[in-house]
Amino acid sequence: MKRPGRDDDPDRLYTVTGGRSRSETDAFDLVTLVVGECEPAAGMQSEHASILRICRSPTAVVEIASDLGLPVSIVRILLGDLHAAGRITARHPRTPATADQLPDPEILKQVLVGLRNL
């Protein structure tokens, strides 16, 4: 068996997520922008409090994962908790979710303009 690294130790991940697995949390894309709707409060799970601090401005799921040093799938579960409790809102990407659908030409035009202006 592979030696577990710092972040993929199953016991640590089990503790952080209270033993739940993903399923209900697929709604969070890597680039869903998360916005905190309240301040961290005493007694909150520390990962939840950290997410609320990070998300005082819109922050992508993948940035949160990087800041917390946790795998993306674990962060999705934590975000699911906060979302269910009304403590965050999520701005989901407006692009097709399946690979065989091409993006809207209008969005692509915006991207081109943005890139040319860099």
Give the interface with other proteins as residue ranges (CB under 8 A). 1-2, 4-5, 7-8, 10, 13, 29-33, 50, 53-54, 56-60, 62-63, 65-68, 71-73, 91, 93-100, 102-105, 107-116, 118
Residues 6+ apart with CB under 8 A from 5: none
Scanning the structure block, which residue is given the tokens 């690294």? 5
CB 28 → other proteins: shortest distance, Å?
A: 11
CB 115 → other proteins: shortest distance, Å?
A: 5
CB 81 → other proteins: shortest distance, Å?
A: 18
DSSP letter, residue 86: T
Q: How is the beta sheet containing 88-91 ordered, strand by strand? A: 59-60, 33-36, 88-91
Partner residues linked to 36 by β-bridges: 88
Nearer to other proteins among residue 20 and residue 109 (C-beta): 109
